[in-house]
Amino acid sequence: MRKVYKVLSSFMFEDDIVKNKESGNIYTVKSHNPTTQALIKKDASEEDLEKVKKGEYEDDGNGEKKELKKISSQSKKNAKQRLEKARETITIFDDTTQERFGVLDNAWNVFLDAETYEEQVDAIRTLAENNLIEAHAGGVKIYLTPQTGLPYKFLTSDTSKLTTAMNDIIRDEGIEVPVRGSSKDRQLANESGEHNEAGVVAYLDPSEENTKEYKQRRENVSKLGGDDSRLDEMNKKAAEQIKQTLPKGSRILGARKVGGVGEKALKKLGIDPKKNPTDLIITYVDEDGNEKTMKVSSKIYKDPSNINMKNSGLGTAGSTYLDDSSVDSKLSELKKKYDWKNEKNKTKRGVMMTKFREEYLTLFSNSMVGLSKTEKGQGQLLQMWKDIHGCDADVYTQVVNKTTSESELRDPDYYCNPEPPFDVSYDGKKLVVEMKGGSNQKLEIKVKTETSGATKLMFWNKKNK
């Protein structure tokens, strides 16, 4: 057990024994979170840890002991063979992608070799938190995200006991994992974004790593039936636009893409994903020899007047954006009330998801309406607007129009001077924040639910045409 924990030292610890308040699972952590975990024993002994490992630790009787998901030796062997091939393939990509694969490799192996259910859960959480996997709408397959640099079926070409076990844990533990639909258009849309980011950095910095990754992205788009040549031309224009924006006499030292690398990797770079939308980092030297950086948020849309600025999990949305923890405290109750992830009837599941979205947005909108009525509350709404648009993070926003092939590079303060007061309205489906000052921008907020149980708050900036 200690050997496994050492491999996953970034997300598993061995000090305190706790029980998850929602699931009832018992496991060990370095320091317990009183919001989600009940502390059973602090500074556990080796004997205690061994009992937890074997699922023999006695609690107050309210916890639910869950058994390890069994994986056959043949399934493990096949999975490890695929990982070995992946290690050979990933060497063509940039350092960041290889680092992400290192997390994927470690967590995937720990899941395969896990001796307890808790180890399996923590491995899946690591894969999810680092944006490395996508779930299956049918709940039986697991795919890799574009951020891994690998084809989405590279590790799991078909349904197996391994992928079914992963999906069961995702569903049972309420882990937020994006669901990949069967639509080829959706896959192409995801890959087009990666193609855009990889292409821009390759034209800004044609290093071997950037060039090799871009080559792979171009192949991926072509295989999905996309127009690689047209997208490539857009990327050239976008890169040239960034070059022209740099101070006169500047020389580019390097460029890298960081969009989608996952929350932990972003924080290591000093980027707060809740408030900083950076996708590309360009390093350059100005004419005086000073080394500087330019940060860019990349957007590529058919309709640039309607842009998804940010997606955020619901867990702390109330406290993060509204300074209202009461919204967060009611989330667990709503999820239990509308437990669609365990509903097998598709019609009933759809109704439950709809009802959940409506009731959650009602809570969120009620809080926002209350804020809109006071001067202090208006200040909080202004801060929410700035956080969602990445204000104060000195980030340019590059918007590529897939319809016209034109590109616009917007200054860091483009979205950051709204004209309050803010007016809040809710029609049962979407929450709209408009400015009475006459701005042509508004914010639309929706909730996204998935059959796996995952939920997200989606923020869209809409501009009048």
C-alpha closest to that of 449 among 141, 128, 177: 177
Residue 405 domain-assigned (yes or no): no
**Mean of the per-residue pLDDT values for the chain?**
83
Across 224-247, average pLDDT? 93
Lowest-pLDDT range, 6-15, 227-236, 282-291?
6-15
- Of the pLDDT bands very low, low, confident and very high (cuts 50, 70, 90), residue 139 is low
Residues 330 and 359 in one domain: yes
Q: In this structure, what token pair is assigned to residue 326?
A: 């009461």
Q: Crossing angle, helix 184-204 and helix 208-223, to 10 degrees?
A: 160
Residues 206 and 310 in one domain: no
Residues 228 and 243 in one domain: yes
Residue 441 domain-assigned (yes or no): yes
Structure confidence by residue, pLDDT tens digits, 61-79:
444 457 888 888 888 888 8
Say how far apart CA 423 and CA 434 lie, in whole Å.
5
**Per-residue pLDDT at 301:** 86
Q: Indicate if the pLDDT at residue 247 is higher than 90.
A: yes
Residue 410 domain-assigned (yes or no): no
Say how far apart CA 326 and CA 32 lie, in whole Å.
22
With pLDDT > 70 as the criterion, what percentage of the chain qualifies? Answer: 86
Say how far apart CA 375 and CA 190 lie, in whole Å.
41
Q: Indicate if the pLDDT at residue 60 is higher than 60.
A: no
Residues 377 and 253 in one domain: no
Residues 176 and 188 in one domain: no
**Per-residue pLDDT at 236:** 96
Across 148-152, average pLDDT? 79
Which range scores top for mean pLDDT: 96-110, 146-160, 242-256?
242-256
- Of the pLDDT bands very low, low, confident and very high (cuts 50, 70, 90), residue 138 is low
Name the residue with tokens 């034209």: 203
Burial class (CB in 10 A: 0-12, 13-18, 19+), 404: exposed
Residue 385 and residue 439 in contact, taking contact as beta carbons nearer than 8 Å: no
Q: Indicate if the pLDDT at residue 10 is higher than 50.
A: no
Q: Indicate if the pLDDT at residue 324 is higher than 90.
A: yes
Residues 255 and 110 in one domain: no
Burial class (CB in 10 A: 0-12, 13-18, 19+), 43: exposed
Structure confidence by residue, pLDDT tens digits, 263-276:
777 777 788 877 88
Residues 213 and 231 in one domain: yes
Strand partners, 306: 462
**Per-residue pLDDT at 465:** 60
C-alpha closest to that of 125 among 31, 8, 265: 8
Q: Indicate if the pLDDT at residue 57 is higher than 80.
A: no
Q: Indicate if the pLDDT at residue 346 is higher than 80.
A: no
**Per-residue pLDDT at 229:** 92
Q: Indicate if the pLDDT at residue 244 is higher than 90.
A: yes
Residues 324 and 428 in one domain: yes
Residues spanned by the domain of 143: 73-180
Residues 347 and 447 in one domain: yes
C-alpha closest to that of 51 among 98, 93, 17: 17
Residue 52 and residue 1 in contact, taking contact as beta carbons nearer than 8 Å: no
- Of the pLDDT bands very low, low, confident and very high (cuts 50, 70, 90), residue 159 is low
**Per-residue pLDDT at 4:** 33
Across 438-442, average pLDDT? 77
Count of Cβ atoms closer than 10 Å to residue 385 Cβ: 23
Residues 208 and 135 in one domain: no
Whether the full predicted model's pTM is greater than 0.75, yes or no, is: no
Residues 263 and 224 in one domain: yes
**Per-residue pLDDT at 14:** 47
Strand-by-strand arrangement of the 431-435 sheet: 306-313, 455-463, 441-449, 431-435, 422-426
- Of the pLDDT bands very low, low, confident and very high (cuts 50, 70, 90), residue 312 is confident
What residue spans of 90-207 are helical by DSSP H? 95-113, 117-129, 161-173, 184-204
Name the residue with tokens 């071997």: 208
Across 4-8, average pLDDT? 31
Residue 402 neighbours by CB under 8 Å, 6+ apart: 192, 234, 300, 301, 302
Residue 198 neighbours by CB under 8 Å, 6+ apart: 210, 213, 214, 217, 257
Q: Indicate if the pLDDT at residue 7 is higher than 70.
A: no
Domains held by the chain: number: 4
Say how far apart CA 96 and CA 94 lie, in whole Å.
6
Looking at 267, 301, 335, the residue that finishes a domain is: 301
Structure confidence by residue, pLDDT tens digits, 363-412:
999 999 999 999 999 999 999 999 999 898 899 999 999 888 899 999 99
Residues 316 and 432 in one domain: yes
**Per-residue pLDDT at 62:** 44
